[in-house]
Amino acid sequence: MTAAIQKHTGLKRLLFATYYSLRGLCLCARYESAFRQELAIFLVLLPFVFIIDFTAIERLALIGVMVAVMTVEALNSAIECTLDRFSTELHPLAGRAKDYGSLAVLMTLLIAVATWLVLLWPKFT
């Protein structure tokens, strides 16, 4: 019989989960140039969310779409890392999976840009 894997519970689980999440953020920022670019844009745009007179819901939408872009980028990177781990040879299914991940990032970016434009336009017209 195999020994059961001990799972952390309670506060210890929360601490480990936080550690792994922050580690993932650091690794993504270190190894993924697209994520670094999106993070930089997020950090540049974030002050404007609070400087410009937006409602709380508008602020949430503006921050939310930026976080969504980085989240989808991280998931896309995870897909690519997983596929590259198992094989570096070109395979049509691996290529499709990577293209689907790229499409998800593009769609999220388009929604983010549209959200920013729709909410900023009235402030400057």
Determine the length of the chain: 125
- Token code pair at residue 5: 């894997």
**% the chain with pLDDT above 90:** 86
Residue type (1 letter), 48: F
pLDDT of residue 5: 74
Between 74 and 1, the more confident residue is: 74
Model confidence at 9, in pLDDT bands (50, 70, 90)?
confident
* Residue with token string 């001990």: 6
The catalytic residue positions are 73
- Going by the DSSP 8-state scheme, the letter that residue 89 receives in this structure is S
d(Cα 62, Cα 77) in Å, to the nearest integer? 23
Q: Does the structure show a pLDDT above 60 at 26?
A: yes
Model confidence at 1, in pLDDT bands (50, 70, 90)?
low
**% the chain with pLDDT above 70:** 97
Evaluate the CA torsion angle 42, 48, 50, 52 in order and state its sign. negative
Q: Does the structure show a pLDDT above 90 at 89?
A: no
Express each pLDDT in 52-83 by its tens digit. Answer: 999 999 999 999 999 999 999 999 999 999 99
